[in-house]
Amino acid sequence: MIADNGSTDGTGAAVRKLIGEHPLFSYVYSATPGRGGALRRTWEDAATTLVGYMDVDLSTDPESFLALVAAIEHGAGIAVGSRLLPNSKTQRSLLRSFLSRCYNLLLKLLFRVRFTDAQCGCKALSSDWSRSLLPTVNDNHWFFDSELLVRAERFGCKIQEIPVTWKENTDSRVRIFRTVLHFISGLAKLRVELWLNRQR
Ligand SMILES: Nc1nc2c(ncn2[C@@H]2O[C@H](COP(=O)(O)OP(=O)(O)O)[C@@H](O)[C@H]2O)c(=O)[nH]1
Ligand SMILES: [Mg+2]
């Protein structure tokens, strides 16, 4: 399923052509932008036993995604790709790599999370966990993945990390300064909410 929300770059036409050639694919369109919202809509409607996604720019080697699916089939609640494990093979710019390490360290300090890479564009969930977690996640943009994982750990979900092969695609939609502010605001809102609910 290809989730297109509000793109203006010919994605719709390209996907329709792809579906003509490979009817296994389907296409969901919504005008509201934001990756989290796109995942929420497609996962909510899925009639499958597991849901997941990988970035459409194929930064993650598709083989890594198959390893996530296998992990769910073997009982993990969530399986996530990580670019920050000893066996991960990554090709990233120094700046993105530095920001990613700082961000994941901040998550560890603020929420004591056990996973290493919240924002890798490659994740799978059992549908049971997807159904219970989605209503608890507020963010519909880039912070969606982080919030999902922080809440999942607190609900006792088993998160399995898989080292991925990652090749950065420099055609990025991330505007670094704006996205850093978005993440800081997401972290602050979530931390305050959990403190107010007396969760460490
Ligand atoms: N459906 C949907 N996907 C998005 C949106 N923005 C980004 N993505 C997906 O998120 C991935 C990561 O975005 P990208 O610009 O490559 O960010 P980067 O890899 O972190 O530089 C893309 O490959 C898309 O698959 C959006 O608004 N809607
Ligand atoms: Mg990318």
29 in helix, strand or coil?
A: strand
Q: Is 55 in the pocket of ligand 1 (CB under 6 A)?
A: yes
Q: Is 121 in the pocket of ligand 1 (CB under 6 A)?
A: yes
* Predicted confidence (pLDDT) per residue in 65-81, tens digit: 999 999 999 999 999 99
Considering every ligand atom shown, identify the ligand nearest to the alpha carbon of residue 93 and give its number.
1
Q: Is 174 left (phi over 0), alpha (psi -120 to 50) or beta?
A: beta
Closest ligand 1 atom number to CA of residue 56: 25
Q: Is 33 in the pocket of ligand 1 (CB under 6 A)?
A: yes
* Predicted confidence (pLDDT) per residue in 13-59, tens digit: 999 999 999 988 899 998 998 999 999 999 998 999 999 999 989 99
Q: Helix crossing, 144-154 with 35-45: angle to 10°?
A: 60
* Predicted confidence (pLDDT) per residue in 120-164, tens digit: 999 999 999 999 999 999 999 999 999 999 999 999 999 999 999
Closest ligand 1 atom number to CA of residue 54: 25
- The pTM of the full predicted model, rounded to 2 decimals, is 0.93
Q: Which of 48, 21, 7, 37 is nearest to 141 (CA)?
A: 37
Give the separation between CA 2 and CA 37, rounded to whole angstroms: 13
- Decide if pLDDT at 200 tops 80: no
The catalytic residue positions are 145
Q: Is 38 in the pocket of ligand 1 (CB under 6 A)?
A: yes
In the chain, what are the domain boundaries? 49-196
